[in-house]
Amino acid sequence: MKNIQYLLVLHSVDGLGPIRLKALIDFYKDPKLAWGADGKQLKEIGIPQNVVERLTETRKNLTPEKLIEDLQKDKIKFTTIFDEDYPKPLLQIYDPPTVLYYKGEIKPQDEKAIGVVGTRKMTGYGKLVTNQFTASLVSAGFTIVSGLARGVDSEAHWTSLRNKGRTIAVLGGGLNQVYPPENINLANQIIDGKGAIISEFPPNHPSLPGNFPSRNRIISGLSKAILVTEAAADSGSLITARVALEQGRDVFAIPGPVTSALSRGPADLIKEGARLVFEPQEILDELGVEQGISNGLVLKESLSPEEQKILECLENEGRHIDEICRSLSLSAALVSGMLIKMEITGLVRNLGGGIYCKSAIL
């Protein structure tokens, strides 16, 4: 499309969302003509008076040239629904963002993506399953998409980075307004050759509560499936999952302890048609991914009889090292050494405080 810079300034007008902006482009064919249209005609094609007033005010204070200059200064790239490099999965949803701003790189391989979302108030259990499932999905070649929020989102991004995978963070505000502020370092690491941070909001748009439902549709739109690891019944991550169901994406949910309020979200999704999963391999099987997660099985077969007994002891729940010693009548030194070895190989996880559990790769 010609005059793309005029599309960007139109996009910066608050109230010109994807549907209204598309209506403008469909009517005028050229965004430069839409930018210069008079208020009367804009109202005739369905643009509300308050949005017309904002457009008029924006024309006084912003030029396309100035906007492009600011983007270059802030090292912000962009793609539009008219461009070849626009993420193809997003074109399949009802209201794809007209413009996506991003830092980092969006690659064709990112079309093989899974969204991992959940509560901001993550428990030790939520951290464990988020880490284990994300690591396995990364090893199977998936890009991990999430929202850069506290809790499950952050853990999913960090796990992707630790496992040398790609990850995309979708923001609920502009790229110059990274939120929460403690995740600025995480955002910078993602940008540094390991993925991208993206947003449909103009760069200086604040992160407001009303932005997040829009953000969530992008997370699900970029993903082949959504995984909810831990969430309360009123968690915003459930919006992402329900939008994914509406978009025809698969939704997977991990069950949690019945005593935890953060198990209600996944449980409710399962009632609504999400697939209950106990291990990452179930997700790969459902998505038709041939590469299995067999490393844990190979490692398990190479264990000593005592190490096998430790795994059996951890079959259903995490246990303190002292409890393992008493149950198996083994010395603390012996059990400690075996647990360290099994943790290094990924067969068990240290939950902290001397408590260990079996890894999900088994």
CATH class of 108-287: alpha beta
pLDDT at res. 69 = 94
Q: Give the separation between CA 217 and CA 271, rounded to whole angstroms.
A: 21
Q: Write out pLDDT tens, residues 344-362.
A: 777 887 877 888 888 755 5
Task: Reply yes or no on whether the pLDDT at 201 is more than 70.
Answer: yes
CATH number of 295-358, picked from 1.10.3470.10, 3.90.1150.10, 1.20.58.1290, 1.10.10.10 = 1.10.10.10
Q: How confident is the model at residue 299 (pLDDT cuts 50, 70, 90)?
A: low
Q: Give the separation between CA 316 and CA 302, rounded to whole angstroms.
A: 21
Query: Who's near 163: CB < 8 A, 6+ residues apart?
Result: 134, 135, 138, 139
CB 224 within 8 A of CB 250: yes
Task: Reply yes or no on whether the pLDDT at 173 is more than 90.
Answer: yes
State the pairing for strand pair 355-358/319-320: antiparallel
Q: Look at 188-202, 209-223, 250-264, 284-298 and tell me which has the smallest mean pLDDT.
A: 284-298
Q: How confident is the model at residue 297 (pLDDT cuts 50, 70, 90)?
A: very low
Angle at 353 between CA 348 and CA 356, to 5 degrees: 15
pLDDT at res. 162 = 92
Q: Look at 38-52, 55-69, 79-93, 288-302 and tell me which has the smallest mean pLDDT.
A: 288-302
The radius of gyration computed from the CA coordinates of the chain, to the nearest angstrom, equals: 24
CB 336 within 8 A of CB 346: no
Region 297-308 average pLDDT = 72
Q: How confident is the model at residue 298 (pLDDT cuts 50, 70, 90)?
A: very low
Give this prediction's pTM.
Answer: 0.81
Q: Where are the domains of the chain?
A: 4-73, 108-287, 295-358
Q: Write out pLDDT tens, residues 121-130.
A: 999 889 989 9
Same fold yes or no, 108-287 and 295-358: no
Looking at the chain, the whole-number percentage of residues with pLDDT higher than 70 is 95
CA distances from 152 to 16, 124, 156, 169, 341 (A): 32, 11, 6, 12, 27
pLDDT at res. 116 = 97
pLDDT at res. 1 = 66
Q: How confident is the model at residue 9 (pLDDT cuts 50, 70, 90)?
A: very high
Query: Who's near 1: CB < 8 A, 6+ residues apart?
Result: 7, 31, 80, 82
pLDDT at res. 357 = 85
Looking at the chain, the whole-number percentage of residues with pLDDT higher than 90 is 58
What phi-psi label fits residue 288: left (phi over 0), alpha (psi between -120 and 50 degrees) or beta?
left
314: helix, coil or strand? coil
Please state, rounded to an integer, the average pLDDT across all residues of the chain: 89
Q: How confident is the model at residue 301 (pLDDT cuts 50, 70, 90)?
A: low
